Structure 1
Amino acid sequence: MRAILKATLCLLGTVVLSQSPMSIVRAQQSTGKVYTVAERQPEFPGGKAALSRYLATNIKFPGSLMRQNANTGPVAAKFIVDVDGSVHDVRITTKPLTRENKKGMQEFMAAIVTAVEKMPRWRPGEVGGRPVAVFYTLPIEVNMQ
């Protein structure tokens, strides 16, 4: 009886695990292949200094977090820079939200998403001299000084 139960649990685990990657693969197939590392990484027009200026100008830090002197912790925007340099599929990662700063952090994350989605076209990443879509992670630092 235990052997049958173990076999059933193993089979269920295999079915569940095998279905998860398939849904990810299907999602990637609709947009084509997306690289995590490219021979030449995507670049914001004007380089890193221009990207920092763009973010500082376009991301407004919520007053509620500023009044609380809240520590946002590590925040990153993850997105795809497509073969034409357009940015899409923006996701924000952050530390778990507390009840006190939840509203302010949600406003902050929405501001980041809006700013990233409105970015000008990037120079796309390249592999073998050809433009490719690249999954890009952009850390966002908040300096309150």
Structure 2
Amino acid sequence: MKRFILAALCLTGTVYIAPSVWSTAQAQNQKVYTVAEQQPEFPGGKPALSLYLAENIKVPGVLVRKNYNTGQVAAKFIVDELGYVHDVRVVTKPLDKKTQKGMEDFMASIITAIEKMPRWEPGEVGGKRVPVFYTLPIEVNVR
């Protein structure tokens, strides 16, 4: 729990929320865990997740041309008890006006890629599958 709070404090900044999704789990008054005995896992593990993100997230040309360092970027979402991803949000550092459009396109690309992910192996508590909040740090090297 302490690790989650520290991560949340370090990643404050602009939040982009996909307009088509809102807190489904919260609307259903369903308990969503921040820590589970068994955390959700992408099919194939972390190497497969890294490959999936590299293939599906598009970095806008304006960020590449400007050699812009995106800084800390994190995707936050819920992996439900069936392994589906919901409520995707992207958190980043505050943006200046020059890079705002490129970063908005980049964040939209992250959201699209995450929403299209294959089903995860859900988290478990007490041997029962449960919805879990998941924070995925995203690093971009434009060089």
Shorter-chain TM-score above 0.5? yes
Q: What SS does the aligned partner of 1:35 have?
A: coil
Do structure 1's residue 84 and structure 2's residue 82 form an aligned pair?
yes
Match among 116, 133, 136 for residue 135 of structure 1: 133
Corresponding residue of 1:52: 50
Offset at residue 144 of structure 1 (A): 2.0
How many angstroms apart in 2 are the aligned matches of 1:60 and 1:96?
20
Q: What SS does the aligned partner of 2:41 have?
A: coil
Aligned length: 120
- CA separation of 1:104/1:129 partners in 2, compared to 1, >3 Å: closer, same or farther? same
Offset at residue 143 of structure 1 (A): 1.4
How many angstroms apart in 1 are the aligned matches of 2:120 and 2:90?
19
How many angstroms apart in 2 are the aligned matches of 1:134 and 1:98?
33
Corresponding residue of 1:125: 123
Match among 109, 112, 119 for residue 111 of structure 1: 109
- Deviation digits for residues 97-135 of structure 1 (CA, Å, limit 9, x no counterpart): 111100000000000000000000000000001100000
Q: Percent of counterpart pairs with the same letter? A: 71
Q: Which amino acid aligns with 1:74?
A: Q
- CA separation of 1:63/1:29 partners in 2, compared to 1, >3 Å: closer, same or farther? closer
- CA separation of 1:51/1:58 partners in 2, compared to 1, >3 Å: closer, same or farther? same
Offset at residue 28 of structure 1 (A): 1.9
How many angstroms apart in 2 are the aligned matches of 1:31 and 1:47?
30
Q: Which amino acid aligns with 2:82?
A: D
Corresponding residue of 2:142: 144
Q: From the CA coordinates, give the structure whose radius of gyration is larger.
A: 1
Q: Higher helix share goes to which structure? A: 1
Instruction: Tell whether the 8 Å contact from 2:80 to 2:122 is kept in structure 1 after alignment.
Output: yes
Please list every run of at least 4 consecutive aligned residues from structure 1 whose deviation after the TM superposition is greater than 6 angstroms.
Answer: none
How many angstroms apart in 2 are the aligned matches of 1:92 and 1:81?
15
How many angstroms apart in 2 are the aligned matches of 1:90 and 1:81?
10
How many angstroms apart in 2 are the aligned matches of 1:118 and 1:34?
21
How many angstroms apart in 2 are the aligned matches of 1:105 and 1:31?
33
Unmatched segments (≥5 aa) in structure 1:
1-26
Corresponding residue of 1:11: none
How many angstroms apart in 2 are the aligned matches of 1:66 and 1:31?
42
